[in-house]
Structure 1
Amino acid sequence: MTSSEFLNFLKSICSKPLHVLDATIPKSKYVPLNLSESNPELQKTNISSSSEFSKYINAYLKKHNAVVAYGGYNEVRTMYNRSTHFNSETSKNRNIHLGLDLWCAAETMIYTPLDGEVHSFKNNTNYGDYGPTIILRHIISGVEFYTLYGHLSLNSIENLKVGQQFKQGDKIATLGTASINGDYPPHLHFQIIKDVQGYFGDYPGVCNGQDLEFYLGNCVDPGGVLGLRS
Structure 2
Amino acid sequence: MILPFDFQKDPFLILDFTEKNPELTDLDLTNTAVFSDYVFGKIRQAGAVVGVGGYGEHRVIYRRSPHFNQMEESRCIHLGIDLWAAAGTLVFAPLNGIVHSFQDNNNFGDYGPTILLEHVWNDKPLYSLYGHLSRSSLAGLQVGMAVSAGQRIAELGPFPENGDWPPHLHFQLMTDLLGRQGDFPGVCTLSERERYLAICPNPNRLLNIPGLG
One-letter identity of the residue aligned with 2:155: T
> CA contact under 8 A between 1:75 and 1:96: conserved in structure 2?
yes
Equivalences for 1:53-92 in 2 at 5 Å?
53-89=35-71, 92=73
Paired with 1:31 and 1:226, the residues of 2 have a C-alpha distance of 15
One-letter identity of the residue aligned with 1:57: V
Provide closer, same or farther for how the CA distance between residues 37 and 122 of structure 1 changes in structure 2, counting only shifts above 3 A: same
Q: Write out per-residue CA displacement over residues 62-101 of structure 1, whole angstroms, 9 at most, x where no aligned residue.
A: 1111111102311122221222221114x63111111100
Higher mean displacement: 37-46 or 190-199? 37-46
One-letter identity of the residue aligned with 1:144: P
**1:224 counterpart residue number:** 205
**1:160 counterpart residue number:** 141
Deviation at 1:139, TM superposition (A): 1.3
TM-score for the superposition, normalised by structure 2: 0.94
Provide closer, same or farther for how the CA distance between residues 23 and 69 of structure 1 changes in structure 2, counting only shifts above 3 A: closer
**2:117 counterpart residue number:** 136
> CA contact under 8 A between 2:29 and 2:64: conserved in structure 1?
no
Paired with 1:178 and 1:37, the residues of 2 have a C-alpha distance of 25
| Greater per-residue helix proportion | 1
Residue 210 (1) aligns with residue 191 (2) = yes
Deviation at 1:222, TM superposition (A): 1.1
One-letter identity of the residue aligned with 1:152: L
**1:3 counterpart residue number:** none
**1:50 counterpart residue number:** 32
| Alignment equivalent of 2:161, drawn from 180, 185, 191 | 180
Structure 1: state its 5+ residue gaps: 1-18
Residue 93 (1) aligns with residue 74 (2) = yes
**1:8 counterpart residue number:** none
Q: Write out per-residue CA displacement over residues 123-166 of structure 1, whole angstroms, 9 at most, x where no aligned residue.
A: 00121100000000001442111000000000000211000111
Q: Write out per-residue CA displacement over residues 177-224 of structure 1, whole angstroms, 9 at most, x where no aligned residue.
A: 111111110000000111111110000000001100011111111123
Could you say what the CA RMSD is over the residues aligned between the two structures, in angstroms? 1.5
Deviation at 1:27, TM superposition (A): 3.5
**2:87 counterpart residue number:** 106
Paired with 1:88 and 1:173, the residues of 2 have a C-alpha distance of 30
Paired with 1:71 and 1:27, the residues of 2 have a C-alpha distance of 18
Structure 2: state its 5+ residue gaps: none
> CA contact under 8 A between 2:30 and 2:65: conserved in structure 1?
no
Q: What is the aligned-residue identity percentage?
A: 45
> CA contact under 8 A between 2:94 and 2:206: conserved in structure 1?
no
Paired with 1:43 and 1:54, the residues of 2 have a C-alpha distance of 16
